[in-house]
Amino acid sequence: MEYRVTSLTAKQTQEWGNQLGRHLRGGDVVALVGDLGAGKTAFAQGVGDALQVKGPMTSPTFTLRHEYLGKLSGTEVKTRLIHMDLYRLQHPEEVEVIGVEDAFKEDTICLIEWPEIAEDYMPEDRLEVEILGSGESPREIIFHTREREWEQRLKVITTS
């Protein structure tokens, strides 16, 4: 199943991330797909805002992984937010070396930019967020899922 929305600005892309972030739970994995400059990090920053992450969220392109503490939306339940950027990886074996699978835990929400190289390591129950467009052009954000539970959450997000 897929749901499509449009974003006219980086701020709106961030707001769509915020909308999703309000419905995330521990154990959720979100794959962020799109070209350079599409808005993957802006979307991730919106998720961080929804989870009340303190401090700036920046792209982990050079460090591969940033970890933050936050709270599940509307609760006092603490959660870890791990934001990964796998752009610089050259071989699928590197995914195992940096411990991508170690981030898939019940108390953690995981956002992965450039997840294609990690396909064999990704859980089946994940959400893929594809962002099409770059520069000053509008973005089309497509939420792809195969799981019924994600579908229910996405209906709330995309129809509100």
The residue ranges of every structural domain in the chain are 2-159
Which secondary-structure segment (H or E) carries 65?
Answer: strand 65-71
The runs of H, that is alpha helices, within 22-116 are 40-50, 92-97
Structure tokens at 158: 């995309």
- For residue range 88-105, list pLDDT tens digits in order: 888 888 888 777 888 899
Identify the band that residue 160 occupies on the pLDDT scale cut at 50, 70 and 90.
low
Global model pTM greater than 0.85: yes
- For residue range 106-137, list pLDDT tens digits in order: 999 999 999 999 988 899 899 999 999 988 88
Read off the pLDDT of each residue in 19-27 and give the average, rounded to a whole number.
Answer: 95
Q: Which CATH architecture has domain 2-159?
A: 3-Layer(aba) Sandwich (3.40)
Structure tokens at 22: 């309000």
